[in-house]
Amino acid sequence: MEEKKLTGKIARERIRLMEAPRPDPNLIEGFKELGHASGILSDIMDELGIAGVLPASLYRPTIADACIVGPALTVRNIMQREHAYETARAHVNKMAEFEAHNLAHRGDVLVIAGVSGVSNIGGISAQTGKRQGEAGAIVSGGIRDVDHSRSVGYPVWSTEITPVTGKWRIETVEINGDIELHGVRVSPGDIVFADETGICFIPQARAAEVLELARKKYEAEQRKCALIDRGTPVSDLPGNA
């Protein structure tokens, strides 16, 4: 039986913005230069009163040592009303993250406010995202085919891993709109920074301010580490850890 997907017209109706606001590429490069710095960014965001940090103990990365930075490309999924066995028999697929892949710019990070207990992105979708130049994905909800996404070098941070498909169970209701992940609001074009420690969602309007302070903290920590390596007594080290 042929799979019945959302038609192009219906899927496109779910796109809030065809072109999300783009952050300055120099900002993206600046955050990349910090390396694995989610801890530094979390400290700076605390000081500035910006809520936007989620732990890797909740959003686990599929690729060890992965670190990505890029603008958010957002997707919002909900559970279909119809029973999964009925939609499976009829081959009705209402997922539309491939429309998000169609909109992707090189370096974008797919951010999915998804459904728990089922897969919101699988291996073929991950491979498509990689082909489109995406840096990776953040998923609130399940994912599957981890070996596939890992083999193509497409890191995913997710709250769950499951073999249960979402294509008979999920409906994509919005692309490139504001979403929320565990109390953190994410808008299209916000800067996503993810490493093995956690994820920082940096509002585009505050990104330059965050980066400036993060650079200063990073440089201070590098100087402190150099002093530790040289054997400087703990009592003589500047500041607190």
Mean pLDDT of all residues in the chain? 92
User: What pLDDT, on the 0 to 100 scale, is given for residue 2?
Assistant: 54
Token readout for 167 is 């294509």
The model's pLDDT over 145-198, given as tens digits with 9 standing for 90+, comes to 999 999 999 999 999 999 999 999 999 999 999 999 999 999 999 999 999 999
Beta bridge partners of 93: 5
User: What pLDDT, on the 0 to 100 scale, is given for residue 5?
Assistant: 62
At the fourth CATH level, which superfamily is domain 4-230?
Answer: Ribonuclease E inhibitor RraA/RraA-like (3.50.30.40)
Helices then strands, counting H and E runs in the chain, come out as 8, 13
The model's pLDDT over 99-127, given as tens digits with 9 standing for 90+, comes to 999 999 999 999 999 999 999 999 999 99
Domain range annotation of the chain? 4-230
pLDDT band at 203 (very low <50, low <70, confident <90, very high): very high
Token readout for 184 is 């953190």
Q: For helices 207-229 and 25-32, what crossing angle results, to 10°? A: 20
The distance from CA 110 to its chain's CA centroid, rounded to whole angstroms, is 5
Nearest to 78 by CA among 20, 155, 122, 14: 14
Q: How far apart are CA 225 and CA 177, in angstroms?
A: 42
Q: How far apart are CA 151 and CA 39, in angstroms?
A: 28
> Is residue 191 within 8 Å of 33, Cβ to Cβ?
no
> Is residue 98 within 8 Å of 73, Cβ to Cβ?
no
Residue 88 reports pLDDT greater than 90: no
Q: For helices 207-229 and 38-48, what crossing angle results, to 10°? A: 130
User: What pLDDT, on the 0 to 100 scale, is given for residue 86?
Assistant: 84
Residues 6 or more apart in contact with residue 97 via CB below 8 angstroms:
75, 110, 112, 120, 121, 125, 172
- For residue 173, count other CB atoms closer than 10 A to its CB: 14
**3 state DSSP class of 109:** strand
